[in-house]
């Protein structure tokens, strides 16, 4: 039986507007052994799909502990997360066990690719300068950017910037990687490169991945799809075909769309 990485129980998220209106972004999200939808297992690749405004990003932000829940609780890697958790505990969890990749890259413009990747390690302060440099070079080589380490973000293409972002997210060896539209600003060719990289991280390093996307073309990469609508999980789909067996067909399909 797969060990759970993320368990969600009766999660509700409300936003209270200044005029008194209450907007419910998430309503009774339940991923648990006692629900219709299983917990997210360690090493699983889950995609969140559904229309805009359905609650996907709200759920991702709560899983990343950068937003708070209104009711319910979640368990991340055995840690209970609720409104009693201190900011210090949550920031430490984010720094060491959760990696983030967003559509807009969020790289520091005055830092080189190498410096951007080194930054989370410097904050964690667990490696010396030489070790941080070696780790950053190793990660940039892994994402295919060994020859771009001294380039600023403005000197990199969109696909290259996203790969730097992924390398940075992996710098402190997180067990969970959260991604919000990581290919949203990329063309088909770069989408393939980035998705292949994400899949390799998931399958080789057993990193648990939760990814929000509006792109149906990348669904084949995931183990499981959860569809959110109006703040509720309305259905799920499980990919029974092993992803590596269909990647070449997928790449040919995207190439044909660009022609």
- Here the CATH number for the domain that contains residue 157 is 3.40.50.300
Residue 114 · residue 151 · CB < 8 Å? no
Residue 80 exposed, middle or buried by CB count within 10 Å (0-12, 13-18, 19+) = exposed
pLDDT for 255 beyond 80: no
For range 211-223, the mean pLDDT: 92
The Cα 163–Cα 97 span in angstroms is 19
pLDDT for 243 beyond 60: no
Q: Structure pTM?
A: 0.89
- Element containing residue 46 per DSSP (H, E): strand 45-49
Contacts of 198 (CB under 8 A, 6+ apart): 166, 177, 179, 182, 209, 211, 221
pLDDT given for residue 245 in this prediction:
43
pLDDT given for residue 238 in this prediction:
92
The residue segments making up the domain with residue 45 are 4-258
For range 201-216, the mean pLDDT: 93
pLDDT given for residue 257 in this prediction:
52
Q: What band does 241 get if pLDDT is binned at 50, 70 and 90?
A: low
Contacts of 67 (CB under 8 A, 6+ apart): 13, 58, 61
For range 40-48, the mean pLDDT: 96
The count of domains in the chain is: 1
Written as six digits, the tokens of 256 are 């044909």
Q: Which residue has the tokens 């609508």?
A: 229
- Element containing residue 160 per DSSP (H, E): helix 158-169
Residue (of 217, 225, 210) closest to 186 by Cα position: 217
The Cα 227–Cα 238 span in angstroms is 11
Residue 77 · residue 175 · CB < 8 Å? yes
Q: Which residue has the higher pLDDT, 159 or 2?
A: 159
- Give 122-174 pLDDT, tens digit per residue: 999 999 999 999 999 999 999 999 999 999 999 999 999 999 999 999 999 99
The rounded mean pLDDT for the chain is 90
Q: What band does 102 get if pLDDT is binned at 50, 70 and 90?
A: confident
pLDDT for 120 beyond 90: yes
Residue 58 · residue 87 · CB < 8 Å? no
pLDDT given for residue 246 in this prediction:
45
Burial 210-224 (b: 16+ CB within 10 A, else e): bbbbeeebbebbbbb
pLDDT for 249 beyond 70: no
């Amino acid at each position: 039986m797969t060990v759970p990485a993320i368990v969600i129980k009766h999660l509700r998220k409300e936003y209270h507007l200044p005029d008194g209106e209450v907007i419910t972004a998430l309503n009774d999200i339940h991923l648990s052994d006692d629900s219709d939808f299983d917990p997210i297992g360690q090493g699983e690749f889950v995609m969140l799909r559904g229309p805009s405004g359905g609650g996907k990003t709200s759920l991702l932000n709560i899983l990343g502990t950068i937003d708070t829940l209104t009711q319910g609780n979640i368990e991340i890697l055995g840690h209970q997360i609720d409104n009693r958790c201190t900011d210090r505990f949550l920031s430490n969890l984010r720094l060491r066990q959760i990696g983030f990749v967003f559509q807009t890259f969020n790289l520091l413009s005055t830092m080189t690719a190498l410096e951007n990747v080194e930054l989370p390690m410097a904050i964690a302060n667990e490696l010396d300068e030489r070790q941080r440099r070696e780790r950053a070079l190793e990660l940039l080589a892994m994402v295919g950017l060994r020859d771009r380490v001294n380039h600023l973000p403005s000197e990199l293409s969109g696909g290259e910037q996203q790969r730097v972002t992924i390398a940075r997210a992996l710098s402190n060896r997180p067990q969970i990687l959260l991604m919000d539209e990581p290919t949203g600003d990329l063309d088909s060719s770069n989408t393939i490169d980035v998705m292949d990289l994400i899949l390799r991280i998931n399958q080789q390093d057993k990193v648990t991945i939760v990814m929000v996307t509006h792109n149906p073309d990348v669904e084949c990469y995931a183990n499981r799809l959860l569809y959110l609508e109006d703040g509720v999980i309305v259905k799920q789909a499980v990919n029974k075909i092993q992803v590596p067996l269909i990647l070449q067909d997928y790449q040919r399909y995207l190439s044909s769309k660009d022609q």
